């Protein structure tokens, strides 16, 4: 700021030189002796007498005499003018002072109307408050940032990045601030910078997915789903990722996937959580869509024969009288280690044992999170009482051992466990 004002002062002084110097320079150049005019006047009268003598002696006529007198007077006036300028010395100083005041006044008025002093002051204030804004935004200390403060925070972050180079935390903060300001292009550009430096930053992957969902196009929803799948592979219980994945499936009208994700989300909450009734209502809405739908796999729908497993499901005779009334049968596969979300799932509301189903990549719930994405799996068949995949007391279940997916083409799965 000091450098800017120093530049203003220097430019003003340079401008004043062009106004003031000409007045004083004229005085220095046009300087004569005080007796110069009297000598000029004496010569003038002497020349008049000579002209009169020439006229009397008829060496010149009257017209030539008159013209010579006029020319003589003109020359005298021109030769007397420097002394007149010398006598106006005091006025020159007044003119120089007046020009100086006028120039400074005009400069101040012009800058006050056209300058950016308020923006410059705001920029300096933003840089001074950068640390305070960061604490309030990240650590939730003090009052939440207002819209104007968010704008100032974004300006300070951009300046810091320009001066200090790429910084993962600063780019992430800028992306989140841009989201709050609905500047989605800026948010995506900021998150792209972070992912170039750290492709596995889970917080940024989730925030980026939120931005893509706000945009709402099919391409961006698919991209968001891919990012969330990466998060769930590394952190299967990440509630934020699961909830966003549920929203994506709901927007795509993939009811089974949406319901499963919402049920996982609901199971992670306490019933006194204010979000609990809303999610339960959303599940009820999805049930209405699924009322007349059944998903039964067939060999002809399999895209990848290496990920296709034909499963024969049977019920232990000792549990035949323990079957839930109007139960729902879920047959699914999940990774032996890693994400607990099913890799492939089939749901049946009408069944009789024994029965045969096929699991494949076509039964995947999330793009990129399917049978082909893992090497070791566990197969499960569960008779549910409430049409959800979340386990509850009194349900029946059967699990396989840990299996090498590539070596399993067929498998006999027995439901032989009563969940206490």
**Domains of the chain listed by start with CATH number:** 2-115 (no CATH), 133-290 (1.25.40.10), 299-418 (2.60.40.1120)
Query: What pLDDT does 311 receive?
Result: 94
Q: How much is the pLDDT for 298?
A: 37
Comparing CA positions, the residue from 324, 317, 250, 237 lying closest to residue 283 is 250
Burial 307-324 (b: 16+ CB within 10 A, else e): bbbbbebebeeebeeebe
Which residue, among 327, 413, 322, 405, has the nearest Cα to 360 in the 3D structure? 405
pLDDT of residue 118: 59
What pTM was computed for the model?
0.45
pLDDT of residue 133: 67
Per-residue confidence (pLDDT) for residue 74, from 0 to 100: 86
Tell me the pairing of strands 355-359 and 344-348.
unpaired
C-alpha–C-alpha distance, residues 109 and 116, integer Å: 13
State the pLDDT at residue 59.
83
Task: Tell me what pLDDT residue 372 has.
Answer: 86
Rounded distance, CA 400 to CA 305, Å? Answer: 21
What distances in angstroms separate CA 201 from CA 42, 198, 215, one per listed residue?
A: 101, 6, 21
For residue 355, what are the contacts with CB-CB under 8 A and spacing of at least 6?
A: 312, 313, 348
For residue 313, give both structure tokens.
Answer: 């499901």
Q: How far is CA 77 from CA 71, 84, 316, in A?
A: 10, 10, 135
* β-pair type (355-359, 309-315): antiparallel
Alpha carbon of 376 to those of 173, 222, 230, 382, 404: distances in Å?
39, 26, 18, 20, 5
Q: Collapse the DSSP code of 58 into the 3-class scheme (helix H, G, I; strand E, B; otherwise coil) and give the result.
A: coil
Going by C-beta distance under 8 Å and a sequence separation of 6 or more, which residues neighbour residue 9? Answer: none
pLDDT score, position 310: 93
309 within 8 A of 407, measured Cβ to Cβ: no
Give CA–CA dist 332/313, Å, rounded.
11
Closest by CA to 414, choosing from 327, 311, 314, is 314
Residues of the chain with pLDDT under 50: 27-30, 32, 83-89, 294-305
């Amino acid at each position: 700021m000091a450098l800017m004002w120093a530049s203003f002062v220097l430019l003003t002084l340079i401008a004043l030189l062009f106004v003031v110097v000409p007045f004083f320079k004229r005085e220095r150049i046009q300087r004569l002796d005080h007796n110069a005019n009297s000598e000029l006047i004496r010569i003038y009268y002497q020349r008049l007498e000579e002209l009169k003598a020439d006229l009397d002696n008829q060496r010149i006529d009257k017209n030539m005499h008159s013209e010579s007198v006029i020319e003589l007077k003109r020359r005298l006036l021109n030769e007397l003018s420097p002394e007149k300028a010398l006598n106006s010395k005091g006025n020159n100083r007044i003119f120089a002072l007046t020009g100086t005041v006028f120039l400074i006044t005009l400069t101040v008025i012009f800058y006050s109307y056209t300058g950016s002093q308020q923006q410059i002051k705001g920029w300096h204030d933003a840089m001074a408050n950068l640390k305070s804004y960061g604490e309030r935004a990240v650590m939730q200390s003090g009052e939440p940032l207002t819209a104007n403060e968010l704008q100032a925070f974004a300006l300070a972050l951009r300046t810091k990045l320009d001066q200090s180079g790429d910084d993962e935390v600063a780019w992430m903060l800028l992306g989140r601030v841009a989201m709050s300001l609905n500047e989605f292009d800026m948010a995506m550009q900021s998150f792209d910078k972070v992912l170039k430096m750290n492709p596995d930053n889970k917080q940024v992957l989730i925030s980026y997915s939120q931005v893509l969902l706000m945009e709402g196009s099919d391409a961006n929803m698919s991209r968001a789903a891919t990012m969330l799948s990466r998060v769930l592979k590394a952190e299967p219980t990440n509630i934020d990722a699961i909830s966003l994945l549920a929203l994506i499936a709901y927007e795509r009208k993939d009811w089974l996937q949406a319901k499963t994700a919402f049920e996982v989300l609901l199971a992670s909450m306490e019933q006194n959580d204010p979000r609990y009734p809303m999610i339960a209502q959303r599940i009820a809405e999805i049930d209405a869509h699924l009322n007349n739908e059944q998903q039964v796999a067939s060999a002809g729908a399999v895209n990848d024969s290496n990920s296709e497993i034909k499963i024969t499901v049977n019920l232990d005779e000792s549990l035949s009288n323990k079957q839930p009334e109007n139960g729902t049968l879920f047959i699914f596969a999940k990774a032996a280690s890693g994400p607990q979300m099913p890799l492939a799932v089939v749901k049946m509301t009408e069944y009789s044992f024994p029965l045969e189903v096929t699991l494949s990549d076509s039964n995947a719930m999330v793009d990129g999170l399917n049978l082909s994405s893992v090497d070791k799996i566990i197969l499960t068949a569960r008779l549910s009482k409430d049409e959800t995949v979340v386990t509850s007391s009194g349900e029946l279940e059967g699990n396989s051992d840990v299996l090498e997916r590539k070596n399993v083409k067929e498998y006999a799965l027995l439901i032989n466990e009563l969940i206490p």
